[in-house]
Structure formats: C-alpha cells, structure tokens
Structure 1
Amino acid sequence: MSTKKKENTQEITINVENKYQEIDGFGASGAWSFDKIGSEWSEESKKKVADLLFSTEKGIGLSMWRFNIGAGSEETDKEIITDPWRRAESFKTGENESYDWSKQAGQQWFLHAAKDRGVEEFIAFVNSPPVWMTKNGHAQPDPSVGSTNLKEESVDDFAVFLADVLEHFEEENVPFNYISPINEPTWNWDYAGQEGNRYNIEDIKKVILALHSELEKRGLDTEIDATEAVEYTSLLDDEMYGEFTGSDRVYNSGNANGSYPGKYREYIKEMLGDPEIKDIIGNKISAHAYWSDHYSGEDRLVPLRKSVRENLNQYGQDLKFWMSEYCILGSNGPGRDLTMKTALDVARLIHFDMVETQASAWQWWLALSNYDYKDGLIYTDYSQPGDEESIIESKLLWAMGNYSRFVRPGAYRVDLQGANDQEELMGSAYYHEEDDQLSAVFVNYSNEEKSVKVNVDHLPGKKKAIQFKPYVTSENDNLEEKNLIPAKKAVTIPPRSIVTLVAK
C-alpha cells in the first residue's frame, strides 16, 4: 500500500459525533446445503468451512447466523422438490408425533460451530409451516389453497411449534435472538422447487399476533422478524411507489396483481403503520434486496434506497431496517463467479444499503452453494457421499469480510464525507464506542487506484494523530493485512478493490 501524497488525493472527513444507525450485524444463511455437508462431511472439512465463515482470525467473522426451520418436505415433496439439496426435514412430522431433535443435524452442527467461534446473533427463519399444518399437505402452495397454504385452524399450532423449537435451542445453549415466521409472502410459490408459502397482509398479522402471544406466555424474549419482503419496491406506500416509478400504478408483482385474495404490498405502512404490530416486531422491518440495483435497464441502486428510507422515516425516526437476504438473480445469476466482478458489485450494494437505506443488518443468502450460480460465499462441487469435499472460496466471501469482520454489533455508522460515487470510490465509517474502534470501508469500483487522506473529527479515546491498519481484498489479496499507514499520510486504494482501514 503506497502512502505517497498525490495531486488528486481525495479528502475524506469522518465525524464520529454524527451517528446514524446502530449495527446489529452481518450474516448469511445455513439453509439446505448445511444440512447436507454438516451431516456428511468430515470434521476437518466442516471446521474449515466454519472457520472461513465465523472466525475473526481465519475467516470473515460473520456476527449473525440464519438457521432454517424445515417444514418436512424431505418426506412429502420429493416429486415436487426434485433437488435433494433444496428439501428440508422437520423436527415434528405430524400433529400427534413427538419431536425428533436429531433432525436437521447438519445445520445444527454449524449452529454450534458458529456459537463456539463467537457468533452471538442467531435468527431462526421459516419458509413454510410444517407440512401437516398446510392445506395441501405439502411445503409449498398450489392454486387451490387461496391466499395462504397455512390452515386457518393451525395458526396457533404453528406458533406453538415455533415456540417449542425456540425453547429447545435455548435449553441447548444456542438461544435464537430472532424468529422469522414468514418468508417472501408476496410470491405465489405454487409447486415451487423449494419450501415456500404466501400470506396476504391479514394472514401475516394473524401469524405474528399468535406467535407473539405464545412467546409472551412462555416468557421467551425472542424478537419477531418480519416481513422478509421479497423486494424493496413491495415495501413502499402506494404514493411512494408512484413517485419512484413516475406513474399512477401501484406495486403489482407476485400476488399483488390480484392472483389471490387480499393485499400483498405496502409492507412499511401495514407493519410499521400498525402500532400493535410495530411494537411486536421491534420497530423494525426486514426485506430482501433482489432486483434493487438494476431492473429492466433502470438504475435503481441509489434512487430506490432513498425512497425506502424516506418512506420509513414517515413512520418514525427510530425505525430499524434489515436487509435480510440477497444473492444475484435474473440474467446475471447463472454461472459461478469467483472473481472481483461479483465481489465489487455486491460490496457496492452493501455500501448503499448501509449509507442510503441505513440498514442495521445485512445478510447474504447461501453461505455455501453447490450450484453454478451467484448465490454462495463458499462453493463446493460435492454432491453426494464419496465425492471430494471441495471448498472453493470466492472473492465475494472476502469482500463481505471487509464489512463483517470489522463492523461489529453495537457499532454505529458515523458520518463520512468525500467518497460516494457508485462508479468510482465509495466509503462508509463505523465506530464502536465500547471497543473504542473506528473502521472505514472503501469500495473502489474503478480501474484506477485512488488516493485518500482521511481526517477524523471528534474521536474520543484515541490520540489525535490516528494511524490506519489496512485490510485489502483485490485480485491478489483476500482480506490481506497490510503495513500500518502513518498518521496524516495519504492512503492508496488499489483499483477494483475493497479496503477496510482500522484506526490504531
């Protein structure tokens, strides 16, 4: 890393006193693939994967971990979900059956591995209620079931089932901080090749209220996470959607087009504009960032995020937003890309989610994938027992580590001025008061190196002459620690790189 002062050095100003959102963490999901590798792989291979994901020394130090509570499609849906890597077991396979806590053993192994490596924030999420609670006996709807596949008379049973699972893992000393009972409720999920379920707004509220009542009854302080909306545009009030699209239309993707009865849009208004629901879900709403960068040739990256934050602010200044799932879909989705191209595309999206949407948490989809698709942090070519237990690292893994390893729960994003160009250099800064730790993450999307001079105002605890320790992810480096940069010196951000500067 060069420290030579350059004529075109960008002046960066960080003001630690100007705080924005508090950070809950960075995470990924252990769905599906971890049930396979956690139960079929050697201890050595599993430990290597766990270190890459959870260790702050050997890996990227994720601070959140998502555990999928399966619906039982492994037993009932082999003809619908033909890919065994997309089916899931259930802890309870029938109304009168006992719980079998040996199920989902692979995911459970990684749950404990995450805890052992310092992860403190755990989210349990559900794609479909258990198959015995669904109208058609499957873990995905069909056109006959109406607005949702969950039986009307099973809403309370669903709440009891989820509370039982939460209680079990609390006894196992891996308590879940959050429970997400509903995933992408706008999609129809008919005959889906994975577990899924739709819910209109009324259906969602019934589940949330029943689950809240059950958690209260048992004294469980697990927070309900909702609604895991499929895309940012589905969050927007009709007026905001019209302003964003420049039309008089309302959001009409998925079931919002009238395919099934009820309402499937305006999630900010319906969740955070309802005082009872708002309180139950912790003054927070979660959504997935699919199609939030480009759509049909339209650049959405910054404008859509500004619209979401503006809409949120209409319902209170203390509201939290989580980006709770993302991978690359659409025409760019097919084909693994282990290079800096995908790493930079995602790092840029993280930057604007932190700065414009003001996300408190950012969570990738599959932590490990065996697909030829841009959906994994780690990849494997393993398919079945006997195959090589290959562990293939992507540049995206390490790029996410530029955030997750250094921007820890309890930190606040603080003001950074001087780098916010989506085609050139982007920067965001974070301060953890308890640890007296300041870090700044720079994303250089351009093909040219950038020189920055970082000025820090109002930093308590540190000497005024701050030095920076750089950690670089680039074509040649995987979160590589570089030499300390002396105080007051310009720092070179390599082309096509992500660099985290940690104040010393």
Structure 2
Amino acid sequence: MASSAGAAGSDHAESIAAQKSTTSGVQQITINGQQRYQEIDGFGASGAWSIDHIGSEWSEKNKNKVADLLFSQDKGIGLSIWRFNIGAGSVDTDQDIISDPWRRAESFKSGEDKPYDWSKQAGQQWFLQAAKKRGVEETVAFVNSPPVWMTKNGHGQPDPSVGSTNLKEDYIDDYAVFLADVLEHFHKQKLGFDYISPINEPTWDWNRAGQEGNRYNIEDIKKVLIALDKELHKRGIDTEVDAIEAVEYLSLLDNDMYATYTGKAGSTYTSGNAGGAFEGKYSEYIKEMLGDPQIAGIIGNKMSAHSYWSDEAKPGDDRLVRLRELVRENLNRYVQDAKFWMSEYCILGDRGPGRDLTMDTALDVAKVIHYDMVTTQASAWQWWLAVSKEDYKDGLVYTDYKNPGDTQSIIESKTLWALGNYSKFVRPGAQRIDLQGANDPNGLMGSAYYHDGDKQLSVVFVNSSDEAKTIHLDVTNLPGGKDVKQFKPYLTSEHADLKKQSTVSVKKDITIPARSLMTLVGKN
C-alpha cells in the first residue's frame, strides 16, 4: 500500500447498494440517546523513538505526508490525542544496553549541573507542532525513565541491584522539578501539554531492557505523584497528572476480583516481572490509586492502563469481555463512573511478530477498541507507535527507512484506517450512548456516540465475520427533539480506506460488508 492511497481510498471500494447480505434476515439495532455513558476525550498514538528520526532526518514533504495521515481530518484519520515521550538520555549512556538506536532517546538535560538543551528531541518537537497545526486537541507528555543522572545505576533502565526502583530516593523532588521545567518550557512555546504521565508500566522489572523503562512499587509511585502534584501547584501549572499506565488489565484488579476472574480462591496477581522479585507491592492498582483519597485527587479520579494481552476470548480466559467487565466493576467500587483511559496498545505475544498491513490485524484491533469503549467504558483510546520500522504489529504507519540516505518510504496499514473509523468521527466531547443489537465478537459489533456541540451522531460498526450484515436502525431520544434523517457512511475494508459511500436514509436497511468497519455519521 503506497502512501498516495489517501483518505479517499480505492476506486474499487464496495458500494453499499451492491453488497447483499448472506445472512438470513435483517439485524435490528436500537440506539437510545437518553441513555448516556462516558464522555470521550479522544483517540491517539505515540510519537516515541521513531518519530525523532523521521522528524529530524526526513524531507519536509514526507514529514508532512506522515503528519497528514495521522492528524488531518481531511487527508488522514484525525487523531485527537498525541503522545510525546520525554526521554531519559539513553542515547548517551546506553548504547551497549539498547542496541537499536531507534529505541534510545535524548534528554533535555544531560546532567545535574548541565543547562537545559531545548534543541534535543527535535523530531518529536516537529511532529508536536504539526499535530497542533492540524487541530489535535489533547497532548500527553509521558516518561519511561527519569533522566539517567537521577537513576541509581546511571542508565535509562534498572538492573537487579537497584531494588524496587531505579530512581534515587533523594531525587524524587528533582524529578518533579525536571518535569515541571519541561512543561513550563513547552507552555511558553505555545505547545503546552494537557497531561503529564510520569510513570510507565511500573509492574515490569525492566532490567537491562532494550528500551528506557523503570519499575516502581506502590510506595515509590505515590512518592512521585505527591512530589509532582506539589511542584505543579507551587508553579500554578494546570497540566493534569495521568497515571499510572499499568502494563495490563489483570494488574489493576483487587485480589478478590482477580480470584473471581481466575476462578481460583485466594489467587493474586503475580504476572508482572517485578511482582515478588523486589520489595513492595506491584499490583491492585485501582485500589491503591483510587482507593487512596489523596492519590485519587492528584490523578483526577482517573485510571490509566494499557490493554496488552487482552485480545483473546477463550473458555476459562475471556480477556476480551469478562476481564473488561471486572475492570469496570472494580473501578466503580471506589469511584462510581470513574474515568478510564486505555493509554497504550499494540498486538504482543505470539501474534505480535510479522508486519501485517491487512484487514486481519485491523479487525483484531477494532475488536479491542470496541470492547474497550463499550465494556471498560474508556474515555480515551491510544495506540502505541504511530510509525514503526519493525517487522511487528506495532505501527499505524510503517517505513523501511533505517538510516539517512535510505528511501523515505511511507507504508499505510489497514489498522491506521480502522482506528480512523473512530478517531475521525468520534471527537472529544462526544458521549457514548446506548446501542443494542450488535455486540458479537465473532460477528457484528457496534457503538454509538453523540456530540452535543456538533449535533452529530456517529455510529461505528465492526463486522469481523465473513458475511455481510444487513441492519435496520431505530434511533430515539436524541437531544433537541430532532431526528437524524440520513447517514453518510464511511467504509474501511480490503479495498477502501475510510471511503465515503452514498448517503442513505435512516429508514432504509444498511449493509455492512464482510470483514469491514463502517461509520455512519448523521446530524440532527
């Protein structure tokens, strides 16, 4: 798939009229605007690592092509959240540990007595500016490891000798100051961040990892969050703290919830590499964060976690649906209707290796998005790498470029456009509303969203089956007392990338082609 495919998609895109359902009947879908759920903050992706090389080494023309694919609502998928990685400085200290230069990161401050160098991470800064220019509403600054000069071993990842965390005990306040300095600088550049995420996947041990990372037990986490909150309030910085970016949903659960999920009385979560190996606790994050009034206040009663390894639905281990039900139940145990962010995902495990540009991976990812939105009730959903050079299922856009002088290839995946069925049409401020009749992980899945300001109803359908599905919509109780009379459908399939289809009356049956995503957009 060449980079010139664009949002218009292929001329071979399926026509709704031409598709005929092979099912035995019409599937009835009911949408009730009176029943509302979570408000949407947005859909995003990360600019970690690869974006620094692309943004600093590529031509303006090709950088803009990538930026358009990611951020533009006209030419691309219109992401509304962009994640900026604040590096630890591993580029200077960890060449022997992080063998791939595309996984090292610069730091804005290379030593305790060194001045800030705001020219660092130039590639990410270019894309941050490009995101803002194209109307991206929310930006997140996230950290994998504190600066190397604040760590016990002088590296951007721990080793077994450093204990529960690699951050020096007497540098916790310095870490908060560093983060506040970065936030203030970008605010002055009119590139201010809406969220700061100081901790990433604290359950993982990260020992001599091939990237920057750091573990923190519960006590370590709370010390960092309290210090950061104090520094932000001291300076009057209103950036919200996003935490804790837990590595997987299982680590969030209270022990009794975990035992319920496993079906084994008394069982507790120990899957994280740090769990049981180092001093302190590395689990029960909902309880420890939202159940602590001080910490819950710091993080705004919002829990942030990654949904890695949560894409399987099999007997005895239903991570796709049952696990998400328990996460939502667990959140509500401490804060009713607590806000939840799914802040990072790509396909890992046995299915991770092997770059796949097809609808196979796109539909797998769309299924995860659907259940994160409907069952976990996520307010934000964020992919891992926006651009990848790897032979792995971790990118939205891929490139075979590795070194200056290589062809600056831009390779689109169907996963990019599948995410676009949500990100382009479900904008910040929309609310998910009730949809009944399409919640089959092996067939048709659907979710509906209404934006009061835009008076727009967006309905996203995912058909993972090999048969077209014909539906009839019954839409009631939309705000303002006015009905949606017609929909503009947008299709992503083997031959279409968010391809606009012929306008269709809400009273008519609509066919969702096999192995496709379709978003219906209507105004009232």
TM-score, length of structure 2 as denominator length: 0.95
Gaps of 5+ in 2: 1-14
- Corresponding residue of 1:218: 235
Instruction: Give the superposed CA RMSD.
Output: 1.3
Change beyond 3 A, Cα 1:369–1:354? same
Residues 39, 106 of structure 1: 8 Å contact kept: yes
**What does the per-residue CA deviation read over 1:310-367, in whole Å, with 9 as the maximum and x for residues that have no partner?**
1111012131000000000010000000000000000011000000000000000000
The letter of the residue matching 1:375 is D
Matching residue's letter, 2:277? S
- Counterparts in 2 of 1:51-62, with a 5 A limit? 51-62=68-79
* Structure-2 change in CA distance of 1:462 and 1:485 (3 Å): farther
Matched, 1:65 2:82: yes
Q: What does 1:236-275 correspond to in 2, within 5 Å?
A: 236-247=253-264, 248-255=266-273, 257-275=275-293
The alignment status of 1:479 with 2:489, answered yes or no, reads no
Q: Which amino acid aligns with 2:326?
A: S
1:100 paired residue among 95, 105, 117: 117
The partner residue of 1:77 within 90, 94, 99 is: 94
Deviation at 1:190, TM superposition (A): 0.3
Given candidates 118, 134, 155, the residue that maps to 2:151 is: 134
2:63 aligns to what?
A: 46
How far apart, in 1, do the equivalents of 2:91 and 2:483 lie? 59
Q: What's the counterpart of residue 54 of structure 2?
A: 37
Please name the residue that 2:321 is paired with.
302
Q: What count of residue pairs does the alignment treat as equivalent?
A: 504
Deviation of 1:17 after TM superposition, in Å, equals 1.2
Shift of 1:460: 2.9
Q: Please tell me whether residue 414 in structure 1 is matched to residue 433 in structure 2.
A: yes
Kindly state the Cα deviation for residue 253 of structure 1 after the two structures are TM-superposed.
1.4
Contact 1:369 1:378 in 2 (8 A): yes
SS in 2 for 1:478: strand
Distance 1:382 1:233 in 2: 37
For 1:20, the aligned partner's letter is Y
Match of 1:459 among 463, 466, 478: 478
Query: Residues 355-366 of structure 1: matches in 2 within 5 Å?
Result: 355-366=374-385
Whether the 8 Å contact between 1:62 and 1:119 is mirrored in structure 2 is: yes
Rounded Cα–Cα distance in structure 2 between residues aligned with 1:119 and 1:228: 22
Amino acid aligned to 2:180: A
Contact 2:473 2:506 in 1 (8 A): no
The correspondence for 1:279, drawn from 297, 304, 317, is 297
What is the rounded CA distance, in whole Å, between the counterparts of 2:87 and 2:311 in structure 1? 31
C-alpha distance in structure 1 between counterparts of 2:417 and 2:119, whole Å? 33
SS at match of 1:479: strand
Q: Relative to structure 1, is the Cα distance of residues 323 and 195 closer, same or farther in structure 2, using a 3 angstrom cutoff?
A: same
**Structure 1 residue 265 displacement after superposition:** 0.1
Checking the alignment, whether the CA contact within 8 Å between 1:471 and 1:501 is kept in structure 2 is: yes
* Percent of matched pairs sharing the same residue: 71
* 1:114 Cα offset (Å): 0.1
What are the superposed Cα offsets for residues 9-34 of structure 1, whole Å, 9 maximum, x if unpaired?
11111111110000000000000000
Matched to 1:315, the amino acid is Y
**Aligned-residue offset at 1:65:** 0.2
SS at match of 2:154: coil
* 1:326 and 2:340 aligned: no
Paired AA for residue 2 in structure 1: I
Provide the residue aligned with 2:16 in structure 1. 2
Instruction: Classify the secondary structure of the residue corresponding to 1:402.
Output: helix
Instruction: Indicate how the Cα distance of structure 1 residues 137 and 427 shifts in structure 2: closer, same or farther if over 3 A, else same.
Output: same
SS in structure 2 at match of 1:173: coil
Where 1:91 maps in the other structure, the secondary structure is coil
- Identify the residue that residue 175 of structure 1 maps to in structure 2: 192
Q: For residues 417 and 295 of structure 1, do their structure 2 counterparts lie closer, same or farther at Cα, with a shift above 3 Å needed?
A: closer
SS class of match (2:418): helix
Within 2, Cα distance between the matches of 1:415 and 1:211? 38
Distance 1:296 1:462, change over 3 A: closer
Corresponding residue to 1:468 among 487, 502, 507: 487
Residue 77 of structure 2 aligns to which amino acid in structure 1?
I
CA distance in 2: counterparts of 1:450 and 1:267, whole angstroms: 40
Distance 1:287 1:230 in 2: 6
- How far did residue 299 of structure 1 move? 3.2
> Could you tell me which residue of structure 2 aligns to residue 341 of structure 1?
360
Tell me the distance in 2 between the aligned counterparts of 1:461 and 1:38.
45
Instruction: Give ranges in structure 1 of 5+ residues lacking alignment.
Output: none
Aligned to 2:218, which of 165, 177, 201?
201
| Superposition deviation, residue 446 in structure 1 | 0.3
Contact 2:388/2:395 (<8 A) preserved? yes
Shift of 1:455: 1.1
Among candidates 165, 169, 172, match of residue 152 of structure 1: 169
